[in-house]
Structure 1
Amino acid sequence: MNINITNLSSSDTDFYSKLNALLAWDSVSDFDVQSSVLKIVNDVRLKGDSALIEYTNRFDRRSIESANELEISKAQLQAARTRVDSDIVASLEVAAKRVKDYHEKQIQPSWQYQEEDGTVLGQKITPLDRVGVYVPGGKAAYPSSVLMNVMPAKVAGVQEIIMVVPTPDGFVSDIVLAAADIAGVDRVFTVGGAQAVAALAYGTETIPKVDKIVGPGNIYVATAKKMVFGVVGIDMIAGPSEILVVCDGKTDPDWIAMDLFSQAEHDEDAQSILVSPDKAFLAKVQQSMECLLETQSRKSIILSSLEGRGAFIHVEDMEQAIEVANHVAAEHLELSVDQPEKWVEKVRHAGAIFMGRHTPEALGDYCAGPNHVLPTSGTARFSSPLGVYDFQKRSSLIYCSPEGASSLAKIASPLARGESLEAHALSAEYRIIETQ
C-alpha cells in the first residue's frame, strides 16, 4: 500500500515555514465544545450528585439512580485483578515497581540554612492532600496511564488518590481496575467526561474535591481541565501524541518504520517524523512502512496519521538533525544513532529522549520507569514530564533572630517607603534594635 507522506528538505528556502505548518496544532476547543463544557461544569458545581447522575446516564448510556452506584469498592478492584490474565498482572506489577523506583529518585527533601546572625531560611516540601486521576475508559483500556499518573503521586506522599474512569454502556475494564489496585488508588468512581472533571474540582456529595487533576482525556475533558484550572491544579493540556526519530541511516529500516507506527496508531492526529542525513535510508524506511502497514490491525488509523501529519525530513548532517529536533521540541525523541550520549548533550527540547538503536519509545510507554505523561505540541520548550514534583508544593521558611530582623528591617524600610507603603516600613522599623 502506498503511503503519501510529506517529504521535506532542510535545504529548501521555505523549509521551516513548511515544517511549522505541519507541526501546527490548535488544541483550543471550538465555541460549541466550550459552551457545552461550561454548562456541564456549572451544573455539577451547583447541583452536585444530581447533575453527575444526569450526565452519566445521558453520555455513558447508563441508568443509575444514586451516586453511590458510581463507586467501585476495593473488593471489586481485587476481584477484577483475579480475572485478568496472570501474565498481564505480573507485567503490571513489574512495571509499577519500575515506575516507583524511578520516581523515588525525584524525591526532594525540605532544606534550610542558618546565617551568622541566627536568621534561618529554607524550604518546606509538602505533598498534596488529595489528587484526582482521570483515566480514559470504555473499550480502549489504558492501564499504563493508571500507573504513570498514580505512582509518582504515591511516591510524593499524597494522602488520598481518587480515580475516575468512564464506563460507557456499563463496560468496565478489568485490566484498568487491576492497575488501580496494584498502584494503590484509594477510591474509584465510574464517571467520565467534563462532569468527572467538574466533580473532582468542586466536589459533590459523593465525590470529594481534590487539589489537583491529572490524566489524559478527549477534547471535552481537556476543555474542562482548562476551565477549572485555578480552582484546582492540573498537569497539562495535552495535544496528540508525537514522535521524532533522528537516525543516521544505520538502524534496521523495519525497526524505524514500526517506531513511527507506534505513535501513528494512537489516532489520526498523532504525529510521526523521521529526520536523517541519509536520503537513501529515508527511501528504505518508506518501503518498510508500505510492506509492514498491511500487517497492522490499526492500519487505517496509521495511514491517516502518516499522510495527514507525518513527515520524512532530509538534513545535511547530524548537527542539523539535532537543530530540527530542538525546533520541533517533540514529546518523544529517539536518537537511533551511533554514540547517542554525544548527541544528547546537544538536545535542548524534548519530553523524553530514547538513546540508541535498542531503545524504542514503546518501552517508555509501559515499563522503562520514567513517566510517559509528557509535554506535547512543542511545549517541551518550557514543560517537563509528570513527576513527583507535580504532587508536592513548596513553602518558604523564614525565621529572624532579633539581630537578623533588625538588619533586614534597615534594608526593607527604605524600599517600602520607596513604594509608598508606610505600614510595611513601620512594621519593619519596629524590629530595629536601637544601639546606644
Structure 2
Amino acid sequence: MHDIRAIRENPAAFDAALARRGLSPLSSELLAIDEARRALIKQAEDAKAAQNALSKEAGQAKAKGDEAEFVRIREEVSRRKAVEGGLLEQANAEDLRLKAALEVIPNLPLDEVPEGKDEDDNVEIRQWGTPRAFDFQPVEHFDIAGVKPGMDFNTAAKLSGARFVVLKGAVTRVHRALAQFMLDTHVNEHELEETWTPVLVKSEAMYGTGNLPKFAEDSYKTTNDWWLVPTAEVTLTNTVAGDIIDGADLPIRMTAHTQCFRSEAGSAGKDTSGMLRQHQFEKVEMVTICTPETALAEHDRMTRCAETILEKLGLPYRTIVLCTGDMGFGSQKTHDMEVWLPGQNRYREISSCSTCGQFQARRMNARYRAGSGAKPDFVATLNGSGLAVGRCLIAVLENGQQADGSVELPAVLHPYLGGKTRISAEGKLV
C-alpha cells in the first residue's frame, strides 16, 4: 500500500516510478480524491467547532432563563450535528474510494532495478556451476526410467485432475529429504527460525501480503471464507500484522515448510507435462522482518541463503535481477535463481527473493519502535523461496540422470536417505 502523504509531497516522482512499470500516471486522480476527502473532514471539523460554540451559548441562555433562545440554539446544534454526520459519512466514502484505488497499485521499483517490459529484459548478475556434458541425450524428469515408477500423473488425474501428481517410493523419499535438508541448512547455518503455520488463512492475511483484492483468481477460497495459502509468505509475514515490535528484536528471520496452492490462472498451455507447474506443491519459504534501512542488505543475505542450497546440491544456476516489467506486485526489487534443467536444455526459475520495503507492512499495520519514546514506523518485509521443493526435485533428477535410467543423488542428501546414494533404473533407492 502506498502512503498518500508521499504521493502528495512528490507526485511527479510517483508517476515516474509507475511509468517504469509501464503504468499511466495516477497521482492526479489519487490526489483529487484525497483533496475531496480532506476538504470534507475540514468542513466536518468546522461544523463540530460551531456545535461546541453554540452549546456554550445554549448554556448561557439556560442560565439566564431564556427558554425560547435555549430551544432555538439547541435545535441549531442538532442541525449542525446532522450536517457534521453527513460530512463525515461523505469523507468516509472518499476514504474508502482512495483506499480502493491505492490497494491495486503495485509497489514502486527501486532506482537500481533495470527498466524493461518482460522477462527478456531481466539482467543476469552471476552464474554458478557448469552444466554437465552428457554422453547421451538427457530427458525430462518424467521420462527418466528410474523416476517413472515413482511419479504417477494418471492416478493424480483420476483423484484431482490436471496439474497434480502422486509421488511414490524412492522419489517420495528424495522429495522429503530435500525439504528436510533445506530446513536444516536454513536453521543450522543461516540462523533462520523454523516456524510451522496454518495453510488456511483469513482474507485479512491475504490482503496484507498483496494477494487480495487484485489476485483473488490466483488462489483457492473455501466455502467458509478461508483461503489456501499460495506460499508461507502469507502466514510468516502476517505474524507481525498489527504489532509494534521493539527495534532491538529486529531483524526477525523465519523459515517454514508448507503445502502451497495456486490456481495457475492464466497459465493454460504452459508446462503441462511433468510437475514443474502444479496446483499443489511444497515450498520452504523464507521471510525477514527488518528496518527499512537494512532491507537491501537483508535482500542480499536472503538471496545468498537460496543460492547456498543450490550449491550444496551441486546444481548449476544463474541469478538474475528482474526488470521493472517482470517484477511481482509487492516487490521493490527481486532476484530470481534459475536452475539448469538438462531435460529442457535451459534455466528455469526455482527461487524468487524480493524486498518489499514498507509496502506490505502498511497494509498490515506492522510497525517497530526504534527506541524508548520513538515514534513507531513501518517495518520492511522480505520473502523468498528457499527453495521450491518440487522444482528442486526435478533439477536433482534431471542433473543426476544416467544413461541406464538410474539417478545419482547429491551427497548432501545421502544422510537423509539412510546412506542410499541413487535411484536405480527400476525405481528403487539403493
TM over 0.5: no
With structure 1 as the length reference, what TM-score do the two structures score?
0.22
Flag the structure with higher helix content.
1
With structure 2 as the length reference, what TM-score do the two structures score?
0.22
Q: Specify the structure having the higher radius of gyration (Cα).
A: 2
